[in-house]
Amino acid sequence: MTILRHLTILGSTGSIGESTLDVVARHPNRFKVTALTANNNIEKMLEQCQRFQPRYAVMLDVASAEQLAKMLKVASLDTEVLSGVESLEKVASLPEIDMVMAAIVGAAGIRPTFAAARTGKLVLLANKETLVMAGRIFMDLVKDHHATLLPIDSEHNAIYQSLPHQFNGDFSAQGVSHILLTASGGPFRERSVASLEQVTPEQACAHPNWDMGRKISVDSATMMNKGLEVIEAHWLFSAAPEKIQVVIHPQSVIHSMVQYIDGSVLAQLGNPDMRTPIAHAMAYPERIDSGVEPLNMFDVAHLDFESPDFERFPCLRLAYDALSMGGNMPAILNAANEIAVEAFLDEQMPFTAIPFMIEHAMKQVKHEEISALDDVLSADASARDVAREWLKRLKP
């Protein structure tokens, strides 16, 4: 008998949230949406509420919540509208919730993701910042409260599928040599380094393989996205930095690989569609239809691999540096990157200035150990302040 699982989607109007709802719609006997959350996309949230009729809808923006409530009343829907971070935490920890899709982009997603883990939920983790900024604290929380954590990033989900069953983090005991984290290389893999100064936001957001939000698309163009994934992989799989190797694979067909000490390499392949890892995690350990077209190996024809160029992608180097330094440094890296990407998208600084802003913040904010979430958030705030001051000096 199929058990109905109740779901909260943190960030339902983003690309991951929409893909999650697509999987839910294909399996109404398996999944029931109890809560949806968004920042301020009222129109899309209204459509989702009309279709899935959740018990709760949370808007981070108070004015948006008030407007949504009026629209839902006109539509005669019983969905209760809430607002603010505390409400995000509430719907992530409701007693009736079985699983939480943590798909809010940025540091705003940390607190509700922590709330889900603290109440022992099945956490489907698509929010990079939770592990990048507070990896040790979050992993301890998952363990202490007997939560279950499944990765949604296509790369980490691929690694999860390629590792031994019940992998416990001991590489040597389970015969694991390296994690091979694949990267598309983004839209500027073959463009001259000198020409990157002239890159526009539209060009940076034009990912060759994946349909993603603007911030993540820019991170892919700088390969900071892959750097953040290196940090995530460290925490998810207890992998030392030198055990995580980034491999540029332009076709994005192999989503990642695991190399074993006997010479074997296990890989997970599939078309570049986030519904595959989402469906895998939502139904785990079962397999369900995700709506993704099967991979046709004859259409793929060939697979290419390259080593990353740190001159072209200095953000990747900075991420490895932050991971090696530890403590609050990954949080500083992430915060400065968010400010840098926002400034670039707003055309306040060139694409090539992004790593310079990040490196400046990493040098200016004091390197300290972290023992609580407040330490992480303090480092985040300090790095943002430093990055904004740097941006002011950059402007003519």
What is the rounded CA–CA span in Å between residue 184 and residue 170? 29
Instruction: Give the residue among 28, 20, 22, 21 at the shortest CA–CA distance from 4.
Output: 28
Flag residues of the chain having pLDDT under 50. none
The 10 Å CB-count burial string (b at 16+, else e) for 280-308 is bbbbbeeeeebebeeeeeeeeeeeeeeeb
On whether the CB atoms of residues 226 and 255 are closer than 8 A, the answer is no
Q: For the chain, which domains are there?
A: 5-151 (3.40.50.720), 326-396 (1.10.1740.10)
Residues in contact with 311: Cβ distance below 8 Å, sequence separation at least 6, in sequence order: 193
pLDDT at 105: 82
Q: What is the pLDDT of residues 190-207, one digit of tens each?
A: 888 899 999 999 999 987
- State the amino acid at position 387 in one-letter form: A
pLDDT at 207: 72
For the chain, helix, strand, coil in percent to 5 are: 50, 15, 35
Instruction: Give the residue among 376, 331, 377, 378 at the shortest CA–CA distance from 358.
Output: 331
Secondary structure E strands in the chain: 5-10, 31-38, 56-59, 80-83, 99-102, 122-125, 148-151, 176-183, 244-248, 254-260, 265-269
pLDDT at 215: 87
> pTM for this structure?
0.92
Max Cα-Cα span within the chain? 66
pLDDT at 46: 97
On whether the CB atoms of residues 90 and 82 are closer than 8 A, the answer is yes
pLDDT at 209: 67
Helix (H/G/I), strand (E/B), else coil: 381: helix
pLDDT at 206: 83
pLDDT at 396: 62
